[in-house]
Structure 1
Amino acid sequence: MSRSPARKPSKAAAPGRPKDLEKGAAILEAAKRLFTTQGFDGTSMDQVAAAAGVSKLTVYSHFGDKESLFAAGAKAYCEQQLPTTLFEPHPEVPLRERLLQVARAFFGMISSPEAVAGHRILCTPQMAQSPLPAMFWEAGPKRVQAAFSELLRARMAAGELQIDDVPRAAAQFLALLKGEPHARMVFGCCGSATRAEIDAHLAATVDLFLRAYAPR
């Protein structure tokens, strides 16, 4: 039986130039600041590059286009404000207190000036036909809902909750947390809620959720 010739080892692909993490972070910070103050349409990639101290080519090489840059900024902000560790079950913490911890962190994120400005941008008519809302949803709310759903499942396994549709319950909880105080912030009218009013709103939301999904 003839011996087949030895195969030459495949040549490894040449590694591309690694992205400069510091430049990427500077671009995201500049984009967040400009999108917040000037809106999406009022912000150009040239302006982002100048504010970040990099070339426009560098901005495009990191993020591709303005829509992707906006989505990346939203994702980075959500991950910074609501890290995965926030949704760990922590069974040693009473369930009500655990939900309040999540509620305070979530409301703190959505009520920041950057988040309110981003929400207003996404609600403008010109955004209706753009890919931005879907990109934002994937990068922010969908990730948060999925992580919170895992926390609920862990507490269900411990016998503390009874939920038939966990994703729906997670979405309900986060939507209720926004409530009237967040709407007042987005509309910029009727005055902002006081800290005491917000705390009462979050506690009432947690209690309502627990009454709905307490084991029967």
Structure 2
Amino acid sequence: MQTLMPNDAPIGPGRPKDLAKREAILEAAKALFLSLGYANTSMDAVATAAGVSKLTVYSHFTDKQTLFGSAVMATCQNQLPELMFELPAGVPIDQVLLNIARNFHALISSDESVKLSRLIMALGSQDPGFGQYFYEAGPKLILAEMEALLRNAAERGLLAIGSPLRAAEHFFCLIKGAPDYRLLLGCAPPLVGAEAEAHVREVVELFVRAYAP
């Protein structure tokens, strides 16, 4: 009896087997990039860790840079799905912002995110263009979603915002703040529990007051 790889699945509508392999490749790539660094991670190693052939890796991702960018995007989207940036009718704006703030804070405070940020900083000294690539693959997409939400809120009179993009930058910078800086430096552990909740609530209250109609 043939033994199936863990990422194999029955072939059917939507090609779930291919989707499962893609997810396995992304998970393997994230683990290797964070443990070995970008330069020391090969497509061969990713294929072995994912339990697929090297040809399969290349069929899903053209090259290592594309694979890295896809891994970054997947990490961001898993924590902050696009639906979270919607503004449902009747839901208070502060509740929508608080939900985003909680999830964004959890994202940047995760061990995976901290390692990724440190990796990007290290890569920047080797190739200045790599930081731009990372920015476009992750943070820029999140900013665009937040900008669209804040523009919608301004058009509906929920907030008074002249520059939605600038306001989105302010929001995320406030969430990161000094706690994230200390975390990246290794000077302090991430905020958790009541401390994390108090931090995000304070930021949302400050943001809403600053942009109140």
| From 155, 179, 190, the counterpart of 2:188 | 190
- Gaps in structure 1 of 5+ consecutive residues: 1-17
What residue in structure 2 maps to residue 152 of structure 1? 150
How far apart, in 1, do the equivalents of 2:206 and 2:95 lie? 14
How far apart, in 2, do the equivalents of 1:206 and 1:125 lie? 33
How far apart, in 1, do the equivalents of 2:68 and 2:128 lie? 12
| From 19, 22, 35, the counterpart of 1:21 | 19
Task: Give the drift of 1:192.
Answer: 3.4
Q: Is the 8 A contact 1:27 1:48 kept in 2?
A: yes
Kindly report which structure 2 residues correspond to 1:28-177, keeping only aligned pairs within 5 A, or say none: 28-124=26-122, 126-127=124-125, 129-177=127-175
Task: Give the drift of 1:125.
Answer: 5.1
Task: Give the drift of 1:145.
Answer: 1.0
Q: State the identity as a percent.
A: 47
- Gaps in structure 2 of 5+ consecutive residues: 1-14
Q: How many residues align?
A: 198
What residue in structure 2 maps to residue 179 of structure 1? 177
Aligned in 2, Cα 1:167/1:87: closer, same or farther, shift over 3 Å? same
C-alpha RMSD over aligned residues: 1.9
Q: Is the 8 A contact 2:123 2:130 kept in 1?
A: no
How far apart, in 1, do the equivalents of 2:197 and 2:71 lie? 28
One-letter code aligned to 1:162: A
How far apart, in 2, do the equivalents of 1:200 and 1:136 lie? 30
Q: Is the 8 A contact 2:61 2:67 kept in 1?
A: yes
Q: Is the 8 A contact 1:75 1:136 kept in 2?
A: no
Q: SS at the partner of 2:179?
A: helix
- Structure 1 or 2, whichever has the larger Rg, is 1
